[in-house]
Chain A
Amino acid sequence: EVQLLESGGGLLQPGGSLRLSCAASGFSFSTNDMSWVRQAPGKGLEWVSSISATGDKTFYADSVKGRFSISRDNSKNTLHLQMNSLRAEDTALYYCARGTSNPGDWGQGTLVTVSS
C-alpha cells in the first residue's frame, strides 16, 4: 500500500522559514517523480513544485520561485520542501503527491500557517 506522510508544518511569522518532509513507502520512491500541491483554507488546489525521480530536474510555480526549494533523498525515501521568506499567502495545507503529470497518490497534508 502506498503511503505518503507529510510533516514539518506549523505556525510562523512572515519572513520565516520551514522545511516540510514527506516520508514515502509502499512503492519504488527512487523511480517516481514527486510533487507538492497546496490548498489554502476554503480554496482550490494549487500546484507548488515537482522534482524528477533522480532529482536532476525541478519545477516551481511562479508564486514560490526563488523562495521554495524542492529536494529528495532517495536513500531515505523522503521528499522535502524548503520554504523561505514565507508570506501570509503561503498559508495552506501542503500535500505531497506521487507523480507530476497525473499525481496518483496523495498524503494527508501538513498545515502551514503564516501569521503575525
Chain B
Amino acid sequence: EVQLVQSGAELKKPGESLKISCKGSGYSFITYWIAWVRQMPGKGLEWMGIIYPGDSDTRYGPSFQGQVTISVDKSTNTAYLQWSSLKASDTAIYYCARREQQLVGDFYHYYMDVWGKGTTVTVSS
C-alpha cells in the first residue's frame, strides 16, 4: 500500500525550533516529488513547497521562502519540514503529499495523489 506517514502532533513555544517528518512507503520514494501544504485553523490549503528526493531539488512558495526549510533523507525515505524559530502564526495542520504525474495527450499533468494524515503544530506561550 502506498502511504505517507507523518510524525505526531507538536506543542511548542514561540522561538523554539521544530522538524516534522513524512515517511513514504509502498513506492519508489526517490522518483516522486513530495509537497508540503499548510492549513491554518478554519482556513484553506496553502502550498508551501516541494522537494524531489532523487536530487533534493526544492522549490518554495513565495510566502514560505526563508521561513521554513524542506529537506529529505533518501536512506530512510523521509521528507522533513523544519522551522528555526516558531511563531504563534505557525499554528496549523501541515500535510505532506506525493506529486503524481499523468500523461494526457502530449503533456504531463501534476496533482497530489497520496496525502499524509497531517501533523498538528500548536505554538503557544
Is the A/B pair a real complex?
no
